[in-house]
Structure 1
Amino acid sequence: MTELQFELQSFSRREKGSRKGLVNGFGEVTVTVKRRKRSTRAGFDQLTVRLHGEQMPAIEYCTVGPQRPTLKNSRFRINGHVVQLAFNDKAFRNTSRALTFSYHDRSYRYTVIGFEKGSKLSRPGVLITVTRGNSTLRKGMSSFGAVTGDADALDVALALIFEEINTTELTTSGLVSDVLNRILNPRADELGE
């Protein structure tokens, strides 16, 4: 597919945060966040993000945290295979802090454009840009996607799953916030143990 565009609208149900919409060529897609009971070890909710769609691969992202799913303490699975996520948490620029991961013979790079502005998922020959803005159909915010290149269902699914994950750590402002948090609360990392 080349030059595909789509919109996923936000909606929420009891205990869930979600996005759903029609992605031409791939059918209806829904991304859901489900909270489970608090972990007695960490003291936070267990959060699971799942992507659903008839033509989409099975993707699951699990984490422990107080609000939105984060990159810390996470487990990422594609079609049942565990995928390792990595990013340079010492880098200053958003492009240098990009999240990288591989699945089978594909290498992906996920870059946050700016705080709450959007993101880019790329692999050789494919670029998917997702931005946020006012919904075209109703009140609330939507995620707007633009696909360039020969993307398949896996590419689109990967770009969409991160819409419900807090990726602030991949931004310069996330770096500054983390440094300030460590200065003001140097023992914060010990709370989960």
Structure 2
Amino acid sequence: MNTTQQATILIVPGLRDHVEDHWQTHLECKLSSVRKVVSVPPLETDKLSCAARVAAVQQAIEAIEGPLIVVAHSAGVIMMVHWAQKHTRKLEGVLLAAPPDFESPLPAGYPTPDALQANGWLPVPRHALPFRSIVAASTNDPLATLDRVTQMASDWGSELVNVGAVGHINPASGFGEWPLAEQLIRSLES
């Protein structure tokens, strides 16, 4: 990394966007030089469109000069792997926390495989990512088995960090603050 300039941290939330007590929201308040991908039209009217989400990621990335680390959660992880198939911006690294298994049926309240297919999320790219990446995986995530996340991490060429039985690493699972995220981000800076 360029040691003369601190990396900007770009937060890429999942489908639920801003969640008040989410660890990503806490990072926004705590760390310096943080930006977030925000929902702007067409996301307000076409919220499930993968292409619109990836375009919003690209718009946010284009607005950042200098070193960049991306911190993605849940569907934000899938946005980043789709983004990597189309764009070539150099990234210092990416933290991919709790990737969902969109290729398997999700619990009630989440999009169906047919809806995900119709909105461009499937197939989930499985090519090696062109930047350093860490996948943080829970052993009891209701949106993906550890075996499926381990396979995704391997396919992406990502370092896998098993964070234990912590659910989907979101407020419903008890996160709030997640100090390990800061450690993983620091490891991407070195």
TM > 0.5: no
More helix, by proportion: 2
The structure number with the bigger radius of gyration is 1
